[in-house]
Every structure is written in structure tokens, then in C-alpha cells.
Structure 1
């Protein structure tokens, strides 16, 4: 039986939009909708360029446009090259610099445009904003990239921790196969449990009748250079409102963009941050798990229009405020807080910088490793390292992989999975801190520093920091991973967060050798993990103690360190 594939084709252009076929410099025509400003006069324009059908409910631009046009902005939404109604080759992360420039140039020549443009949008249409920055068109005056990064092209480690290669991200590979095969999107359930793993995708391409060029680049390990102009970091600075999700699967890379630019001359003066407790698809921690049950307000915006309107107000409100300053000039930039961030389970805060100036570093050391392979509470997270060197082992079994924190991390908070059963597996290590007597507020970067070795020539290390509640439920705060081919110290970035560990709750650090189905299982050998039919099991060793101080590095607010056992 062949794989069932559902083809997603373009939806109708809304009646309040007018579609144009805009010519690029090489003659390719890109389908482009214009929503006129309510003023009827030439106006600043908000541009979004995306690959997901400009008229689909998934991107909800008919609703987003109404919010901007009511505030006196024209809105332009474009299918990028090779997607839906637009012409050209289907290969993401290519051509966006030139196409962005040419689209900006077209906008400035229209009678409804006053020549000033800002860009807005999530994920890939955050990347197209960075591509337009690279193009250095003078009309681009501000961007609002949401849950995105400059570096998620095929072959680039999207959430690189700075510690070397990353385990291949299967979710990203499936995305390439589904979205970047031809003009349409192809939805299918890929069975990744067979071997070789690549065969499951081949079955999908056979059913579709063509291959994804982006997929082949990933499997071949061929990096794609996304910018044919300067890297955005080296381009002419424009004001940026970074809209980050603490639970976003691109959050590590997005915060790397923010911290890099906030430290660069020219760029630093125009960097702004809004960090919310959301995942990639804009589900909120306070609503998790999302539901449309009768006894509570609707919270699943992919299924419920009331929830969708609430979510859209949240994501467009900061952008409108930002554009009013940098596109219209109706207020001084100093009227905008430099940093607005939400502390999970508490409320919104403002700060002059991120991390907040009052935040301090704290470290918890992995102790009692002999207990770490047992059930919760396992080993301990202690305020200082033990003197003797101690070890703990965990196994990697390709036939019994550790389940991912969510089947789909784009929707991390929609289900907000309880991971207690995973913590109790005998192939993971768990270290827990004492229960907090007072709130422990995390506000900044989190990092795991682990001393590890393996019986295999290559091995993966996955780390999750979880909130362990008094009733035993365990839910994700941050996560990270690294791939190693030699023994030694691994520094694994777990991302930034704003999160309150409430009284009675405790931190739990989990270490594992796999994360399936989010990541490709390691071959355990020098064979390609995509092509192997017999991956090898292995054993990993963690070292702790004063000589090899494996530890969890946190950033906490004042008065919190002792409450969480950190110093």
C-alpha cells in the first residue's frame, strides 16, 4: 500500500485583497496580495513574504491585515519563489535576498505607498525579513521577526549550542520534505521507525512523484549559503523587535541573534526584545495544555476562531506599536521598553537589558550519580561539587529510543506533556534539586556543562530541564543537545527562559542518548545515520566531582538562589 499524501493547494484570495504578479529581476513572477490602508492615502507598508500560501487560514493574513490597515498601514503579503501561486524553482533559503529587494522596490513605486516599509512575521517569514536586511534596500526601516532566526537554512545547526555538531533534526527534515518539494504542501505521516530512515522519505517522494532538493541537501550534509549579500549582522542596521518564545524550538538561535546584535556597534541602539511564554505556533504557557472544553475559555487557536482572535491581538499588538514609532514616527523610540519579558507562572516585566541587570549567575552541581539512573528523585543538584570523582552510566539503545518531550515541538505547549514516565526510564539520568521553599525565578540563559565519554565513536547527548511538581508531574522548561566524537567536556546551551519555579516544585535535569522522533537516532558508528540498517548500541559515562564538575548553570533573580539550592 502506498503512503497516503494530502496535497494542500492555494486558497482563494480574500475579497478585500488585490493580487498582483510582481516581476523579479530574472523575470520570475511572484504572487503578491495588497491590502489598502483604511486612510485611502499613501501609507507606510507592512510586508510579509512566506511559503505557506498567503491566503491560508494557517497564516491568517486576512485577519492580520485588518489589524494593520485599521491603523493606517498598507499590507503586502507574498508567496515566495516556487511556492503556491508564485513561479520559480522550489528551494527554500535561496533567492530571498534579491526577491526581497525587488519586492521592496516594487512597493515604493506604487501610488498607495509612501516609500516606507516594515516587515513582519513568524518563522520562515522571519527569515525573509533578515534576507531583506541583507539586501540593504533603503525603504526597509524596521522589522519584527517572530520565533525565527538568521541561521535555519539546510545544513546549518538551527539551535547550535556552540559545542560543535548537532544531532540531525528530524522535524526539520520532514518539514523540508512536506513544504519544499513543489509549489504545494504535501501532508503525510512518515514512519521513522524503519531502517534505513531515509526509506520512509523515499516512499513519500515516490507517492508525490518528485523529490525535495532541500531534503537532499540535509541528508547529504551539504550546507546552503542563504545570503548572497552580507550576513544580516554585517548589513546596514535597521530597528528590530525580536519576538521570542521561551518554548519555541528555534528559541536558542533567535536569542543568539538578539544577543549578538545587542552587542554590536550600530545595531545595539536599535534592538528591542519581547519574550513571551509561547511555543513556535503561539500557544501560551498559561493555557497549556490548550483545550476548547466547555468549562474554560477556548485556547486552541488552530481549531477555534475565538482563541485565534485573542492570539492575533497578542502577536500583532507589539508590532503595531513598534511600527508606529519607526515607520510613522508618532512617538520617540525611548517610549518603547528595550526589553519586555514574561516570567512564566507570574507576569510581564520590563528591563533595560537582557538578562535583567539584577539577574545573577548560579550553579547547581550534579551529585550522587549512583542514584541518577534510578527513579525520581535520582541524583541531586547540589550547591557545590562533591570532592571525590564519581560516575554514572546510561545506555543508548537504538531499538528502545527515549521519547521526545513532544511528538511535535512546534506545538510544545498545545499538549504540554507530562514527562514523569520518561524520567523513570532506566536509560536516562535524572538529577533533582530540593523543593523550592520560595519562588525561584529563572531569567536568562541556562547551560549544562557535562563531562562525558562513550563506548561509541560518535554519540548524542540530550538534556532537558523540567519543572517537577509536588504531584509528580514533570513538564519542560528548556532543552538542548550536542553530538560528540570524543570524550571530554560538553557545553550544551539550553536556551534562555523567564520561568518561575513555584514553592513546592523542584528542578529536574534529565540526560539521555536519544530524542525520538524529534531527532535522528545516532548510528553508534561511523556509518551515516540516514543509511544505516543496523545502528549500534553504546554506553555513556558521566563524570562528576571537583575535578570534573558537571553542572547546571542558571541565571536567577535576586533572593532566589537559596530557594532553589543554587549559589
Structure 2
């Protein structure tokens, strides 16, 4: 059956931008827009420049840089926005990651030779255009003075599959098919393709083969990742963290679907001599597409993807932290002491500052899983209690590849656009639920969240998906954090750590902490094969049974980081 698709090409260059075709060292020319302050020309004065290098069409409504530019130029910056190699108006082969260090270096060098440039360059942007900043750091151009990577990571390998059979611990990651599918939409050729896979097709890989056949072209990078995996950082040559330190403002979203590796980047550099003094953190209750918890679920009036008024309200928060950072490290118009080392949002309770993350005065609090006999049922299910449980107990749940646990959202990149009630999932017999007592006082989460579970499975490989929820008095349960692992099993019970990332979140009085465990999360993650077969190519994934042990010598527990006392 032919797959229908929509093809999107480059939007017009706005009147207030001047496009250049900038030559790279191999002769390839990259389309590059320059925005200067209103009324300025190339001979007025030397300006610091902020560079953005992205693959999503520099002139598209999706990235809205025509509007962002007005905020940067109003503060006295030249904004330079470039289509990366092989995308939209830029030449070269359409292949992500590999040429970004050289292309970043050459573009920075071009900027420094422009008459309007004062010789200093910063970089800014989200996701892939956060990665292009790290690639430029690896290239070590001396004019690069500061970067502001948002909702991104230095290593996109950390977001895709890691087969537990190839790890020392026997624990890896499930296949994040949504993340790998991205390359099949955005990295085929210069344009972008929108199409809906037929999720009923087996083997799974055939969904994408049909789409590529309809398009008449295919994504080389998708072919590397599905079912194989390529090491992005090895391709760069030098790890960015081994390069000359530059000031970094890490802009992390508590609901970002790549928030875990981004926080790992920040924590690694905050502990790395030479880098530690210039690491800054901005962390908000936002997702990958900049939807806010305060507005979730969004309406047409609050959806910045379709509402110009909503976008205008978003832009100062989107660009403001970066502008303040560049005022210090590019312009030198503000002292370093004007910046807080950590600016973070406590969901439902506003913004805070701190000198480090987690904030001073925070500490761990453990909730022990108990009552597994009632866990395979609707909320509240089993219990989360504050003391270890003496008696050992066990419960089981099934994995049925023909009846997968749904992901609830069509797109986890914009999770807060929907922010669904996850409570109904607990009523499934293939989901375990555990719930704490109603809170007499607010509980402020501020730091990492993790699970230590004693697990066994009947399959050689099985997946575990965990969702930590805020269960409200009205019975609705909204996501706080989530984590997932893929486990190599031999039938024996073993302890498995599930990292659920970091958060700043207030559980209000009367609310309850809840936890869901399952073995599928589809279509966000590829169904486990339940065998030694490759999950991309298997025709018949096999069912399995997982066992959770609690209490005694096999305790299972949820550990959260909390502030010592509720914040004001």
C-alpha cells in the first residue's frame, strides 16, 4: 500500500534578513541569514554575533527566527542563522552530525571576517542546533566565547538503543523508535517529509521501507540506526568536553524527552576541572517543544505552534536567559556576578535560584514498594511506604506484543501540549501501580529520581517502563518523571536501577505520589522482541512474564530528592 506524504521545502527569506551563501573548506556553500540591529549597516559599528546552525529551515514558522532575531538585534547583537549542510537552501550531502565541527568552525571564521563583526561569537539553539554548538566547541575556533544549548545533548547515542546484551551490566535502553523515526522524516534530502507509519505492519522496519519507496529517496542515517547504531562522538574526532572550556548555559526542560542525557552533560561539566567555573543551569517545567506545565494541556489560544499571540508571549522567556548570558560573556556589559549559577523552576510553585544543583538543603527520601498483591489493578494499587518492608513478596505482570501499553501522547517532544491523565493505564492487568499516602504538607522535589527494582523475566530480553505520577484528589494522575531500561534476563531475580532524570516539582497537600510499571510504551518505544531476534525485523514478537520482588532481602524502592522544607 502506498504511503501518503507531505513534502515541505524552504520558506521565503524575510525582508529584514540578508542571505549569504557561505563557502566551506570543501567548496560547499551553506545558506546563511544575517540580521543586524534596525538602521544598522555593515559600516556602522562592530557587533558581537550569535550563531544558530539548524536543519529545520532557518526561515520556517517552526523555528520562528525572524521573530527571535528582533530580540537579539534590539540588544545589540548580530544574529546569524544557517541551514546546515544538505538541508533546505544549503548544499552538500544530507547526513547529520559528521561535518558539523568543520562547518561550525568555517562559519565562525566567516563571521569574524565581516565588517560588522567585533570578532566574538556565541551560539544558541535547541535540540539538533544545540548539538551543532557542541560540535563547534570540539573544533576550537578561538572566537567562540559562549554557548547556550537548549533541550539537547552532546551525545545523541544516549537517546537511542543500547542493547543490554552488549553491556557489562546486562542493562541497556529500549529502542526509542520515535527518536530514530525522526531521521526518516528530517534527514532524507534537503526538504522535510510528513507521513504516518502504519503501526500494524510487521516487521516494523517495513513501515519505513514503504515510506521511502513512496518518497523515492531514503535516509542514510536512519539506515545506520535501524537496526544498527553509529557512534556520533567517535565521528567528531575530539570529544567536546576535552576541548578548550567555554562558558555554557544549559537550558534543560523537566519534561524534555532527552532531559536525562542533557542533565548528565551539565553534571559532568560542573564536576570537570577547567569547565566547572563556567557552567550555568536554567531548568524549567517545559518540554522539548517549549510547552509549559503552567499552560498544560494547551488550548488553541495558548499553543505557540499556531497562535501568534502565544508565540509572542513565549519569546522573551525563550530568548531572555540567553541574552542575559551573552551580555556577560560576549558583550561584557554585565558582571559575572549578575548571573545565578542555577535558575530553576519548581513546578506549580515558581522560579528559584541556587548556587549548585541539587540545591543546598536537599536530600534523598525513599519510598518502599509494598502490597504487590493489589498492584495489578487500578489506582491506588500497591503502596509506597516510608520504611523498609520485612516480608518478601512477589507479583507478576505480562508483556503481550499484540496488546501493547499505549504511550498516551502522539508526540513526546510536545508532551505538555496534551499532558494526559495516566491513571487509566493502571487499570490494565499488564501494568503495576503503587501509591503513597495523601500528603499533609507540600513535598518539593528538587533533584534526581531513581528506582531500584528486584526483577526477573521469562524472556532473554525484557523492557521496563516506569512513570512517576502526581495523583490528585480528583483521581487524575499526571506525569512528573519517567525512565526505562532494557534488561538481559536469565530467569533469576536481579536488582536493576532505573534512572528517571531530574525534576523540580511541587506535590501539593492532599496529592499523592504514584508509580506505574509496564513492559511496553508504544509507539514511543519499539516493542521488545521477547527473544534473541532483532525487534526491527522480527515477524512475531514473543510474550513474556516479568516478576517484581519486594521486601526483605529483595527490596524495591523509589528514591526522590526533596528540599528539607517546602520552598516559600
- Measured after TM superposition, the shift of residue 435 of structure 1 is 0.8
**1:146 maps to what in 2?**
150
Alignment of 1:107-118 (within 5 A): 107-118=111-122
**1:189 maps to what in 2?**
196
- Measured after TM superposition, the shift of residue 405 of structure 1 is 4.2
- Measured after TM superposition, the shift of residue 223 of structure 1 is 1.6
**1:557 maps to what in 2?**
563
- Measured after TM superposition, the shift of residue 224 of structure 1 is 3.1
- Measured after TM superposition, the shift of residue 154 of structure 1 is 8.8
Alignment of 1:162-311 (within 5 A): 164-226=171-233, 227-292=235-300, 298-311=301-314
Kept in 1, the 8 Å contact 2:22–2:30? The answer is: yes
- Measured after TM superposition, the shift of residue 222 of structure 1 is 2.7
Stretches of structure 2 lacking an aligned partner (at least 5 in a row): none
- Measured after TM superposition, the shift of residue 153 of structure 1 is 4.6
Kept in 2, the 8 Å contact 1:91–1:213? The answer is: yes
- Structure 1 outlier segments of 4+, above 2 Å: 37-40, 153-158, 160-164, 224-229
Match of 1:134 among 126, 131, 138: 138
1:509 corresponds to 2:515: yes
Kept in 2, the 8 Å contact 1:22–1:106? The answer is: yes
Greater shift after overlay, 316-325 or 540-549? 540-549
Match of 2:45 among 34, 37, 41: 41
**1:546 maps to what in 2?**
552
Kept in 2, the 8 Å contact 1:155–1:223? The answer is: no
Give the secondary-structure state (helix, strand or coil) at the position aligned to 1:327.
helix
Post-superposition CA distance 1:444-463 (Å, at most 9, x none): 00001111110101000000
TM-score by length of 2: 0.96
Kept in 2, the 8 Å contact 1:398–1:535? The answer is: yes
Match of 1:489 among 492, 495, 503: 495
Match of 1:124 among 125, 128, 131: 128
**2:529 maps to what in 1?**
523
1:11 corresponds to 2:15: no
Greater shift after overlay, 187-196 or 52-61? 187-196
Give the secondary-structure state (helix, strand or coil) at the position aligned to 1:220.
coil
Give the distance between the partners of 1:405 and 1:47, measured in 2 at CA: 37
Give the secondary-structure state (helix, strand or coil) at the position aligned to 2:520.
coil
- Measured after TM superposition, the shift of residue 481 of structure 1 is 0.3
- Measured after TM superposition, the shift of residue 2 of structure 1 is 1.4
Question: How many residues are aligned here?
Answer: 556
Q: Is the alpha carbon distance of 1:478 and 1:132 closer, same or farther for their aligned partners in structure 2, counting shifts above 3 Å?
A: same
Give the distance between the partners of 2:380 and 2:288, measured in 1 at CA: 31
- Measured after TM superposition, the shift of residue 404 of structure 1 is 1.1
Give the distance between the partners of 1:360 and 1:439, measured in 2 at CA: 15
Kept in 1, the 8 Å contact 2:96–2:187? The answer is: yes
**1:431 maps to what in 2?**
434
Kept in 1, the 8 Å contact 2:457–2:546? The answer is: yes
Kept in 1, the 8 Å contact 2:160–2:180? The answer is: no
- Measured after TM superposition, the shift of residue 191 of structure 1 is 1.6
Match of 1:98 among 84, 99, 102: 102
Stretches of structure 1 lacking an aligned partner (at least 5 in a row): 293-297, 562-567
Greater shift after overlay, 201-210 or 227-236? 227-236
- Measured after TM superposition, the shift of residue 310 of structure 1 is 1.0
Q: Is the alpha carbon distance of 1:163 and 1:404 closer, same or farther for their aligned partners in structure 2, counting shifts above 3 Å?
A: farther
Give the distance between the partners of 2:250 and 2:180, measured in 1 at CA: 26
- Measured after TM superposition, the shift of residue 559 of structure 1 is 3.2
Give the distance between the partners of 2:566 and 2:116, measured in 1 at CA: 54
**1:385 maps to what in 2?**
388
- Measured after TM superposition, the shift of residue 343 of structure 1 is 0.4
- Measured after TM superposition, the shift of residue 193 of structure 1 is 2.6
1:397 corresponds to 2:403: no
Greater shift after overlay, 423-432 or 213-222? 213-222
**1:452 maps to what in 2?**
455
1:312 corresponds to 2:315: yes
- Measured after TM superposition, the shift of residue 560 of structure 1 is 5.8
Kept in 2, the 8 Å contact 1:155–1:221? The answer is: no
Post-superposition CA distance 1:92-146 (Å, at most 9, x none): 1111011101111111011011100000001100000010111111000000001
Match of 1:413 among 407, 416, 421: 416
1:55 corresponds to 2:59: yes
Give the distance between the partners of 1:372 and 1:407, measured in 2 at CA: 27
- Measured after TM superposition, the shift of residue 198 of structure 1 is 0.7
Match of 2:471 among 451, 468, 472: 468
- Measured after TM superposition, the shift of residue 246 of structure 1 is 0.4
Give the distance between the partners of 2:101 and 2:409, measured in 1 at CA: 34
Give the distance between the partners of 2:212 and 2:356, measured in 1 at CA: 47
- Measured after TM superposition, the shift of residue 407 of structure 1 is 1.9
Kept in 2, the 8 Å contact 1:217–1:224? The answer is: no
Kept in 2, the 8 Å contact 1:4–1:188? The answer is: yes
Give the distance between the partners of 2:350 and 2:161, measured in 1 at CA: 32
Give the secondary-structure state (helix, strand or coil) at the position aligned to 1:98.
helix
Give the distance between the partners of 1:331 and 1:559, measured in 2 at CA: 34
Give the distance between the partners of 1:543 and 1:554, measured in 2 at CA: 20
Post-superposition CA distance 1:193-212 (Å, at most 9, x none): 32111111111000110111
Kept in 2, the 8 Å contact 1:154–1:223? The answer is: no
Kept in 2, the 8 Å contact 1:155–1:218? The answer is: no
